[in-house]
Amino acid sequence: MYKIVKAEKLADIIYLMDVHAPRVASHCEPGQFVIVKMDDKGERVPLTICDYDREAGTITIVFQAMGASTTRMAELKEGDSFRDFVGPLGCPSEFVHEDIEELKKKKMLFVAGGVGAAPVYPQVKWLHEHGIEADVIVGSKTKDLLILEKELESVSGNLYITTDDGSYGRSGMVTTVIEDLVKNEGKHYDVCVAIGPMIMMKFVCLLTKKLELPTIVSMNPIMVDGTGMCGACRLQVGDEVKFACVDGPEFDGHLVDFDQAMTRSRMYKTEEGRKALKLQEGDTHHGGCGVCGGDN
Amino acid sequence: MADVLKQVPVREQDPEVRAKNFEEVCLGYNQEEAMDEATRCLECKNAKCIAGCPVAINIPDFIREVKKGNIEEAYKVISRSSALPSVCGRVCPQESQCEERCIRGIKGEPVSIGKLERFVGDYALEHDIKPEGAKEKKNHKVAVIGSGPAGITCAGDLAKMGYDVTVFEALHELGGVLVYGIPEFRLPKHKVVAKEIGKVKELGVKFETNVVIGKSVTIDQLIEEEGFEAIFIGSGAGLPMFMGIPGENANGVFSANEYLTRSNLMKAFDSSYDTPLAAGKKVAVVGGGNVAMDAARTALRLGAEVHIVYRRSEEELPARVEEVHHAKEEGIIFNLLTNPKEILVDENGSVKGMRVVKMELGEPDASGRRRPIEIPDSEYEIEVDTVIMSLGTSPNPLIASTTKGLDINRRKCIIAEEENGQTSKAAVFAGGDAVTGAATVILAMGAGKAGAKGIDEYLSNK
């Protein structure tokens, strides 16, 4: 069992937890992920690592209560435990293995969308601890859904916040901010790292391709085991098929087939929605959603 | 007394009933039936069956005890050689091992050794008969990577010799392919797998789940930082192969591993579990091995019409005869001498069909089987909404790529001596599918035994 030492609601349906998992905490690097399973009947849920404390042996995870398992996970409190917590999985971000002096010569731009702020944070923090200040753009639908602002503020070079509805910071999509920075505000970047919803990563990549700005994305497809065994997470990257769990999760964003990846990620949308609805409505669920036909 | 040339028939669930449930197909012998069948054994002095068993169970000895009704004694005979009799009695290909060599089989049907082993194993589980543990402890720590058939066997044997053994498992359940690969209706998970592993626990073996060797900790760290003096790698062959044909990334195309893992390990067939499985209404399973049969019969139980699509003929099907027989009885349709060319995809990115080509058999190839050749202009389309690729698996490169000095061959299999499991790296041994590529449960168990012997020799001479 893996004990939850801190549980916090960050925003509507967005939760943060610190979990005691010493093996993961002693070996993880920025860019990697974990799989958690809350109990016997829960799904194996892949989550990127938001932070880690090697001494305390804890890992910070951030998740959105969207599916059947994550909705139940949201109810866990400090002192409760996850049945299973495995990792670190996937490969660390490429810069972890690069020469620090070379890295210092590069100007990096991080672009986070929604809960994508969680996996961006440990990368920017790692760079900050190695004397490299990276610029960060965080996009959020609205002010209330913005997460980790203070944490990012303390490790970023320039932090640009934008909201879709203009309720906080700049107004508009992250792509607008990238364009403004590069075209109108005279910024130059050598590498962009974009993490967020697939649709956001797709449009960031379309733009950065035009700007000739190399871009790394972190893919979050459907997974089961997370160790290369099932192939559910396969993606078309250039002319190769890659498994996000073992070959990624980070890839060259200009080579990823986002349309296929988005189609694949919709595979269980109705199944999941049906289970989540059943959970919410309990015994009163008799097919009112019009999708599932009740319990048939 | 019935005809001595014939086996005592084993009770099975009716095909029409079982095609709709996940309960076990074969119900096994009761004691009376087992004792009856045991009388058919001729107790050959030079028993050929023993040589046919990869773990060399003393078969005539245990059958003699069954004959006398001493089932506990029979279990002790088997447990000297095997830690998993209830598993092997169910999933071993006995027809090409022990039973193939049975003298009874020359004139009539061989003794049903597998069913007798299963009966003895189940009796021991039901009556909680424990295997004999070590007389004295040895002060050496050994790590076993993987809790599948190779790892469990190696761990059990080492514990019986008195070693301090810890098994590391990447998944959240113990058993490896026994829990993620082989379906409930062939091998019950709670009643059989968990209980047999429980017996290995009673021998003093420690288990740690959720540890991915190469990620959570490396082999070198286990040796240098955690004080393990020898390592056995039994990590299996987990990576699925795909065909590389157009449309393979469409929604509705699964590897057999994914389909089976969702159903077996994650229990997607039971709606009280959170993990979903889009089971499909009309399913094509590509391949002809035991895994293909398992995937096909799982899809059938989830309500689909199921076709096996295989490029050679029935004679070349690599699956066990019993599995093919059961699949046919349950209503699986066999499209033999047929090979997929393309998966057809609808406007939503989902599978709508498969374009296939008819095949004929030519001259034998390197495997000794006749090579399938496409028949020109014989392509046609079949309508399916789900395709399950069951084309085999290869070892996960994760351990080899993170362990200094561990050599692999070009098929990514770890190189290890057959007789003792020794790898290119000192103190590191390996066996099972990680070494051979995908094979059977019992061969992996044989390799686990050899590894335990190799580790004992290594640590005794250290």
Cα separation, A85 vs A64, whole angstroms: 17
SS3 category, B72: helix
Cβ neighbours, 10 Å, residue A243: 23
DSSP string, B129-184: PPPP--SS----EEEEE--SHHHHHHHHHHHHTT-EEEEE-SSSSSSTHHHHTS-T
Tell me the three state secondary structure of residue B300. helix
Is the confidence at residue A293, as pLDDT, over 60? no
In terms of Cβ atoms closer than 10 Å to its own Cβ (0-12, 13-18, 19+), residue B53 is buried
Tell me the mean pLDDT in the region B35-44: 94
Cα separations in angstroms, A215 against A93, A132, B33, B440: 12, 18, 69, 45
Write the pLDDT tens digit of every residue in B163-192: 999 999 999 999 999 999 999 999 999 999
Distance CA A113, CA A134 (A): 16
pLDDT > 60? residue A159? yes
Give the integer Cα–Cα distance in Å for B181 and B192. Answer: 15
* Rounded-to-integer distance, Cα B215 and Cα A231, Å: 19
The dihedral over CA atoms of B240, B245, B247, B251, expressed in degrees to the nearest 10, equals -10
Q: What is the mean pLDDT of residues B110-126?
A: 96
**B349/A271 touch (CB, cutoff 8 Å), yes or no:** no
Nearest to B149 by CA among B182, B105, B127: B182
Report how far residue A156's alpha carbon sits from residue B242's, in angstroms, rounded to the nearest whole number: 43
CB contacts of A268 in chain B (<8 Å) are 276, 278
For residue A274, what pLDDT is reported?
59
Q: What is the pLDDT averaged over residues B24-49?
A: 94
Chain B nearest-CA distance from A105, in A, is 30
Write down the pLDDT at residue A194. 96
- pLDDT value at A290 more than 70: no
- Phi and psi (nearest 5°) for A256? -75, 135
Which residues on B lie below 8 Å from A271 (Cβ)? Answer: 276, 278
Q: Is the pLDDT of residue A157 over 80?
A: yes
Does residue B269 have a pLDDT over 90? no
* Closest CA relative to residue B216, chosen from A255, A145, A28, A156: A28
| Of B78, B157, B85, residue with least CA distance to B125 | B85
Write out the two tokens for B246.
């157009």
Could you please report the per-residue DSSP string of chain A? -EEEEEEEEEETTEEEEEEE-HHHHHH--TT-EEEEE-STT---EEEEEEEEETTTTEEEEEEE--SHHHHHHTT--TT-EESEEEEEESPPPGGGGS-HHHHHTS-EEEEEEGGGHHHHHHHHHHHHHTT---EEEEEESSGGG--SHHHHHHH-SSEEEEETTSSSSEES-HHHHHHIIIIIS----SEEEEES-HHHHHHHHHHHHHTT--EEEE-----SSSSSSS-TTEEEETTEEEEHHHH-SEEETTTB-HHHHHHHHTTTHHHHHHHHHHHHHGGG-SSTTSSS-TT-
Contact between chains at B251 and A241 (C-beta distance less than 8 A) = no
- Is A294's pLDDT higher than 50? no
Selection from B252, B220, B17, B28 nearest residue B123 by Cα: B28
A54 interface with B at CB cutoff 8 Å: no
B251/A264 Cβ within 8 A: yes
Partnered with residue B145 across adjacent β-strands are B168, B233
Please report, rounded to a whole number, the percentage of residues in chain A having pLDDT higher than 90.
Answer: 83
A41: closest chain B residue by CA: B273
What residues are paired with A139 via a beta bridge?
A113, A162
pLDDT, residue A45, reads: 93
> Residue B2 — pLDDT band, cuts 50, 70, 90?
low
Across the range A143-167, mean pLDDT stands at 93
Tokens, residue B197: 């592993």
- Strand B26-28 versus strand B11-12 pairing type: antiparallel
pLDDT, position A267: 83
Question: Predicted confidence band at B75 (pLDDT cuts at 50, 70, 90)?
Answer: very high
From B252, which residue of chain A is nearest by alpha-carbon distance?
Answer: A267
In B236-304, beta strands by DSSP E: 239-240, 253-255, 282-286
The residues near B320 (Cβ < 8 Å, ≥ 6 apart) are B93, B95, B290, B293
CA dihedral B145, B151, B157, B158 (to 10 degrees): 0
**Are B208 and B168 a contacting pair, CB within 8 Å?**
yes
Helix (H, G, I), strand (E, B) or coil at B24: coil
pLDDT digits (tens, 9 = 90+) for B304-332: 999 999 999 999 999 988 899 999 999 99
Which residues in chain A touch residue B171, judged by CB atoms under 8 angstroms apart?
225, 227
Among A262-266, B208-212, B289-293, whose mean pLDDT is lowest? A262-266
**Which of B179, B208, B210 to probe the A interface (max A CBs under 10 A)?**
B210
DSSP B289: S
Establish if A237 touches chain B: CB-CB under 8 angstroms: no
Closest CA to A58 of A110, A2, A18, A114: A18
B375 by DSSP, 3-state: which?
coil
pLDDT score for A278: 59
Report the mean per-residue pLDDT for chain B: 93
Tokens (6 digits) for A107: 């100007």
- Which segments of B209-250 are extended strands (E)? 230-233, 239-240
Calculate mean pLDDT across residues B184-212.
95
pLDDT at residue B194 in the model: 95
CA quadruple B215, B219, B222, B224: dihedral, nearest 10: -120
Answer yes or no: do A67 and B216 touch at CB < 8 A. no
Handedness of CA B131, B137, B138, B141 (dihedral sign): positive
Are the C-beta atoms of residues B379 and B357 closer than 8 Å to each other?
yes
**Does residue A95 contact residue A28 with C-beta atoms inside 8 Å?**
no
- Pairing type for strands A14-20 and A2-11 reads antiparallel
What six digits make up the tokens of B273?
């579990």
A282 CA to centre of own chain: 30
pLDDT band for A286, please (50, 70, 90 cuts).
very low
In angstroms, the CA B115 to CA B122 distance is 10
- In this prediction the pTM is 0.91
Average pLDDT over residues A115-132: 95
Distance, in Å, from the CA atom of B121 to the CA atom of B89, rounded to the nearest integer, reads 8
Burial of A184 (0-12, 13-18, 19+ CB in 10 A): exposed
Chain B 334-363, residues with CB within 8 Å of chain A CB atoms = 348-349
ipTM of the complex: 0.89
Question: Which amino acid would we find at residue B100?
Answer: E
Cis omega (within 30 of 0) on the bond before B85? no
Backbone angles phi, psi at B421, to 5 degrees: 75, 0
User: What residues of B are in contact with residue A224 (Cβ under 8 Å)?
Assistant: 258, 261-262, 266, 275
pLDDT, tens only, A181-220: 999 999 999 999 999 999 999 999 999 999 999 999 999 9
DSSP state for residue B339 in the 8-state scheme: E
Smallest CA-to-CA distance from B293 within B25, B12, B7, B14 is with: B25
The answer to whether B217 faces chain A, any CB pair under 8 Å, is yes
> How far is B255 from chain A, CA to nearest CA, in Å?
6
Average pLDDT of the segment spanning B377-398: 93
The answer, yes or no, to whether residue A268 has pLDDT greater than 90, is no
Residues found in chain B: 462
Least CA distance to B348: which residue of chain A?
A: A263
Binding-face residues of A in 70-129 toward B, CB within 8 A: 72, 83-89
Residue tagged 């093996």 (tokens): A23
Q: A84 and B210: CB-CB below 8 Å? A: yes
Q: Which of A37, A41, A272 sits opposite B272 (nearest CB)?
A: A41
Determine whether the interchain pair B396/A229 forms a contact, defined as Cβ–Cβ distance below 8 Å.
yes
A246 contacts B216? CB cut-off 8 A: no
Given pLDDT bands bounded at 50, 70 and 90, which one contains residue A272?
low
What's the angle, vertex CA B368, arms to CA B366 and CA B371, rounded to 5? Answer: 75
Compute the distance between CA of residue B239 and CA of residue A212 in angstroms, rounded to an integer: 36
Q: Is B212 on the interface with A (CB under 8 A)?
A: yes
- A108, pLDDT greater than 60: yes
Neighboring chain A residues of B172 at a CB cutoff of 8 Å: 37, 44, 83-84, 86
Report the residue of chain B nearest A295, measured CA to CA.
B271
Is the pLDDT at B426 greater than 50? The verdict is: yes
Report helix, strand or coil for B86.
helix
Indicate yes or no: CB of B249 within 8 angstroms of CB of A236.
yes
- ∠B289-B292-B294 over CA atoms, to 5°? 110
Interface of B with A in 254-293 (CB under 8 A): 254-255, 257-258, 261-262, 266-267, 271-276, 278
A275 in contact with B at a CB cutoff of 8 Å?
Answer: yes
> Chain A: residue nearest B237 by CA?
A229
Encode pLDDT of B88-101 as tens digits: 999 888 988 999 99
Cβ-proximal residues to A264 (8 Å cutoff; 6+ apart), any chain: A221, A222, A234, A235, B249, B251, B349
- Report the gap between the CA of B274 and the closest CA in chain A (Å): 5
Nearest CA in chain A to B245: A241
Which of B215, B222, B262, B385 has the most A C-beta neighbours within 10 Å, making it the best mutation to test the interface with A?
Answer: B215
Distance from CA of A246 to the nearest CA of B (A): 9
Closest approach of chain A CAs to the CA of B296, in angstroms? Answer: 17
Residue A180 confidence class, pLDDT cut points 50, 70, 90: very high
